[in-house]
């Protein structure tokens, strides 16, 4: 089995991200989704292709044999107030492998004054992951004072290109906001699958699904989303609609009819 087929269906992936407890803190959570079990249950029940979390959540809640795990091996908090983010490794690739993860995830803040450290660290993580037959997924987010527009087509295409240059098995980026721009973003990654990150929950679910449809039509290989699913009033219905668009290629109108 090749590294990516562990969490791809019909060449696409629907990934549920739940590392926001570290990245943003509990401010993203309510009484229900503050409980990792609530979110892990959505991932299993709604047949997500993978669940992405930090190691503590995985060690305490995730079990082998369920939804495949993508273990984030670096991260930082939102309490850091400076403009040049740095997220250092906090978990070894070997530990991710021992836990049973199918892949490791690593964030590089492209354009940050600290990017060199993250680029070097990702280089090691990628080699270690491949030696253990695990995929290495790059979260490539443009950040820092030098980055004027973090969702411009040029900047995001640079981020996906890094996925190819650095040997990532997939690269996850923010949406440019337009299908045409995202086509270039996908093209810049060559053969490396591109996933769209969700972002804050939209007021209207249809707006979110329209973004997802736009990135899929532009050639993306899936989405890795969190808040738009587990903050939804009806996470099961949102997940079903997402899968219809991402995996089955349905239109937004067709997806919105699903209950």
Contacts 24+ apart (CB under 8 A), 123-128: 123/166, 125/73, 125/89, 125/93, 126/166, 126/167, 126/168, 128/92, 128/93, 128/94
Q: Does 49 bind ligand FBP (CB under 6 A)?
A: no
Stretch near ligand FBP under the rule CB under 6 A, chosen from 19-27, 159-167, 203-211, 250-258: 19-27
Q: Does 40 bind ligand FBP (CB under 6 A)?
A: no
Q: Does 104 bind ligand FBP (CB under 6 A)?
A: no
Report d(CA 127, CA 206) in Å as an integer: 40
Active site residues per annotation: 141, 172
Rounded least distance, CB 181 to ligand FBP, Å: 18
DSSP code, position 127: H
Report d(CA 193, CA 168) in Å as an integer: 9
Of these, 13, 14, 19, 171, which contacts ligand FBP (CB under 6 A)? 19
Q: Does 141 bind ligand FBP (CB under 6 A)?
A: yes
Of these, 6, 12, 23, 129, which contacts ligand FBP (CB under 6 A)? 23
Residues 219-248 interacting with ligand FBP (rule: CB under 6 A): 225-228
Tell me the two tokens of residue 28: 């993203």
Q: Does 198 bind ligand FBP (CB under 6 A)?
A: yes
Q: Does 17 bind ligand FBP (CB under 6 A)?
A: yes
Query: Residue 73: which residues within 8 A CB-CB, separation 6 or more?
Result: 55, 89, 90, 91, 92, 93, 96, 104, 105, 106, 125
Q: Does 139 bind ligand FBP (CB under 6 A)?
A: yes
Q: How far is the first Cα of the chain from the last one, in angstroms, to the nearest whole number? A: 34
For ligand FBP, the binding residues (CB under 6 A) are 17, 19-20, 23-24, 139, 141, 197-199, 225-228
């Amino acid at each position: 089995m090749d590294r990516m087929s562990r969490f791809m269906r019909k060449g696409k992936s629907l990934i549920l991200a739940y590392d926001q407890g570290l990245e943003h803190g509990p401010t993203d959570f309510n009484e229900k989704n503050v409980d990792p079990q609530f979110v892990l249950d959505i991932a299993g029940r709604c047949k997500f292709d993978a669940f992405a979390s930090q190691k503590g959540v995985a060690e305490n809640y995730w079990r082998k044999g369920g939804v495949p795990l993508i273990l984030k091996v670096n991260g930082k908090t939102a309490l850091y107030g400076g403009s040049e983010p740095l997220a250092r490794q906090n978990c070894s690739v070997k530990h991710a492998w021992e836990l049973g993860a199918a892949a490791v995830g690593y964030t590089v803040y492209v354009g940050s004054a600290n990017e060199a450290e993250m680029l070097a660290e990702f280089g090691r993580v990628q080699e270690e992951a491949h030696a253990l037959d695990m995929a290495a997924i790059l979260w490539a987010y443009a950040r820092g004072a030098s980055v004027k527009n973090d969702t411009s087509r040029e900047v995001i295409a640079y981020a996906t290109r890094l996925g190819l240059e650095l040997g990532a098995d997939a690269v996850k980026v923010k949406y440019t906001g337009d299908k045409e721009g995202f086509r270039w973003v996908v093209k810049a990654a060559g053969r490396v699958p591109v996933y769209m990150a969700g972002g804050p929950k939209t007021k209207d679910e249809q707006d979110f699904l329209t973004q997802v449809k736009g990135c899929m039509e532009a050639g993306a290989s899936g989405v890795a989303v969190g808040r738009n699913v587990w903050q939804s009033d009806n996470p099961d219905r949102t997940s079903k609609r997402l899968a219809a668009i991402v995996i089955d290629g349905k239109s937004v109108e067709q997806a919105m009819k699903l209950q």
